[in-house]
Amino acid sequence: MSVGTGFYNAAVPPDDHPILRSSALTLGEFIDRLASAEPVPGGGSASAVAASLAAGLVAMVAGLSAGRPKYAAHGALHERAIIAGQRLATRFLELSDADAAAYAGFAAALKLPRDTDQEQTTRRSALQAAARVASEIPLQTVEACLELVVTAESLVGRSNTNAASDLNVAALLGEAAGRGAAENVLVNLPSVDDEAYSSATTARVMGLLDDIRDFAAATHEGVRGGESREPLPE
């Protein structure tokens, strides 16, 4: 399994930076790199990879339900969930690479010279810009985690009961990934040095986490109840 498919944000190090080759790593190589003394990948990338696994589980549950007469009334939902799960799985892997690249950009800014007033001003501006990117990337992970747990919850009582525990796992991983990514948002905000941006971003993150928690809890409760549900309105 490859842990990434490339990055997409321009505010990162040059193309020859080694972190941009992380998409070529296997899952085992990614874990070895994560366990090393290298600063990247780190918690943000790990959170995104965990979310990718959760998205794969959502697609799997939907795939195990699609085309089965017992769940025929929910066929449209299954097709949407398969597409959403596969799309999110890829998206999270992209975010994993992007998060690592964003942190590498911040680390590069930290190494800029600061001997003169001009160098200090340049370095400060570079750090602020890099910190903003390093907060915006995990914020996108948190946003995608909400879509993930919403999709998982929608399948509860409308999918193959033999795979209901996998929806629980997806919700657990999705919530953990969202909280992990949120920590990476919040830790970078002070370095952005923009009070209005920090306040708005913090409020956005906390609101997303509340929603993620609620949908994850609803998933767990629904799985434990084991009741069938009516089809979603088209």
What would the pLDDT profile of 14-30 be if each residue is shown by its tens digit?
344 444 455 577 889 88
To which H or E segment does residue 107 belong?
helix 75-110
Please state the rounded mean pLDDT for residues 134-147. Answer: 98
Q: What are phi and psi of 26, to 5 degrees?
A: -75, 170
Domains detected in the chain? 18-225 (1.20.120.680)
Q: List, as own/partner pairs, every contact residues 201-209 make where C-beta atoms lie below 8 angstroms and the sequence separation is at least 24, other chains included.
A: 201/135, 201/139, 204/139, 205/139, 205/142, 208/142, 208/143, 208/145, 208/146, 208/178, 208/182, 209/142, 209/178, 209/179, 209/182
The predicted pLDDT at position 113 comes to: 96
Report whether pLDDT(12) > 90. no
Identify the residue with better confidence: 10 or 16.
16
pLDDT tens, residue by residue, 89-131: 999 999 999 999 999 999 999 999 999 999 999 999 999 999 9
Tell me what the pLDDT averaged over the chain comes to. Answer: 90
- Looking at residue 22, its pLDDT comes to 53
Peptide bond into 41 cis (omega under 30): yes
Provide the 10 A C-beta neighbour count for residue 224: 11
pLDDT score, position 40: 84
What are the respective helix, strand and coil percentages of the chain, to the nearest 5?
80, 0, 20
Q: What contacts 199, CB < 8 A, 6 or more positions away?
A: none
- pLDDT, residue 47, reads 96
